[in-house]
A = this chain, B = another copy of it.
Amino acid sequence: MTELTKLMKRRRSIRKYLKDKMVPEDILQKITNAAFYAPSAANMHGFEIVVVVNQDLKKKIREICEKGEQSWVFAQPENVKESILSLPNFSFQKSFLEEAPILLIVSTDQNNPKIPYAVESCWLSIAYMLLEIENNELGSLTYTPSICLTDKRDELNKIVNLPDSEYIQAILPIGYYENRPEPKELKNIKKKRIHRNKFIKNIEEE
| Secondary structure call for the A interface | mixed
Is A124 engaged at the interface, CB distance under 8 Å to the other chain? yes
A130 and B48 contact, CB distance less than 8 A:
no
B135 and A45 contact, CB distance less than 8 A:
no
Residues on B with beta carbons closer than 8 Å to the beta carbon of A8: 34, 37-38, 128, 132
What separation, in Å, do the CA atoms of A13 and B194 have in the docked complex?
A: 23
> Interface-forming stretch among A16-24, A50-58, A91-99, A174-182?
A50-58
Known: A51-B195, A198-B160. A4 touches B142 (CB 8 A): no
Contact of A163 among B11, B87, B162, B199 (CB under 8 A): B199
Known: A37-B9, A87-B42, A142-B39. A196 touches B51 (CB 8 A): yes
Leading 6 A-B pairs by shortest Cβ distance = A127-B127, A123-B123, A8-B37, A3-B3, A161-B199, A161-B198
Given A5-B37, A5-B132, A51-B196: 10 more A-B contacts, CB < 8 Å = A9-B37, A42-B87, A45-B189, A48-B195, A54-B197, A80-B113, A124-B127, A124-B130, A131-B131, A161-B199
